[in-house]
Amino acid sequence: MKLTKEQAQEIKDQQSQASTTKRVNSPELEEILYEALPILDHGFIRVVDYMGNDTSIVQAARVSYGKGTKKVNTDSGLIKYLMRHWHSTPFEMCEIKYHIKLPIFIARQWIRHRTANVNEYSARYSILDKEFYLPKTENLAAQSQSNRQGRGDILEGDQAKKVLDLLKGDAERTYSNYEEMLNERYDGTIIDENKIGLARELARMNLTLNTYTQWYWKTDLLNLMNFLRLRADHHAQYEIRAYADVMLDTLKKWVPTTYEAFMDYRVGGTEVSAKGKSIIQKLIKGDDISMEDSGLSKREWNELMEAFDLKSKLI
């Protein structure tokens, strides 16, 4: 991970600030506030601001649901109740803002989560840094034969080396052409005093998608959990999952009680359809049942068997 001198100084200045507030805070999150947490080869995530903590969720819920929450004796119990029954608005009362540095191809996947306020580094205004994401060999894989969105067998030896050489060569070549079209290097020096550079908004189109960009990404707690439920899952693409895993740790530091409920009911839990529930009930009773009699598709059946580790018991 590489920080510019300006970014390093900004972090130093921010972390040296001393302030008092009457608002609630999260001590563990305060410990890493502004810190650049490294991801991939040049990426990072920084928590730069947040609002609320576990008590903010409880406060919002008790205002919203009034007497209906009196049966819940503790804040932890209430948060678990809200998570278990898919209540949403109390979790929207907390917000967090990240500064994220990530490859462009991951940013384009990430932006599909249209539930945040985003302000991205402008390559119309500024020159992008000469930094590219190059996967480690253990993360280079062939296309999966069974999943159009996934990876298959790991590439090894000469194949892996060739792919990395191509990725690095293409990125360096296109960036060199980018600088030539701009007539300006990323450090601001002019290449040819007698040459007029192409507009930055046009020159950027030449860059590869593994070039790094940066943005500020602000979202509420509910939508952060929705994001993490998908992107921290083992089925998610490795590169975006690397970011989600770090964000999952910031969630734990920020709202530890909510994190525990989230891991229990969302990440570790399983949704079951009405037909799936009926099958589980029949199996508990000891009834024999097959996929053909279940009313489920083959994929639904396999997912149900995998979720409850039932496949071996039905053989």
- Check 46, 204, 231, 241 and give the catalytic one: 231
Residue 110 three-state SS? helix
Residue 279 three-state SS? helix
Query: What phi, psi does 7 have (nearest 5°)?
Result: -65, -45
Per the CB < 8 A criterion, the answer to whether 121 and 186 are in contact is no
Structural element, H or E, at residue 301? helix 298-307
* CB burial readout 116-142, b (16+ within 10 A) else e: beeeeeebeeebbbbbbbbbeeebbee
Helices 298-307, 274-285: inter-axial angle, 10-degree rounding:
60
Per the CB < 8 A criterion, the answer to whether 154 and 238 are in contact is no
Assess whether 299 carries a catalytic annotation: no
Distance CA(190)–CA(199), nearest Å, equals 14
Distance CA(29)–CA(244), nearest Å, equals 16
SS (H, E, C) 31-83: HHCCCCEEECCCEEEEEEEEECCHHHHHHHHHHHHHHHHCCCCCHHHHHHHHH
Helices 54-65, 75-84: inter-axial angle, 10-degree rounding:
70
Structure token pair of residue 299? 């994929």
Distance CA(225)–CA(88), nearest Å, equals 11
Sign of CA dihedral 46, 50, 55, 56: negative
The residues carrying an active-site annotation are: 231
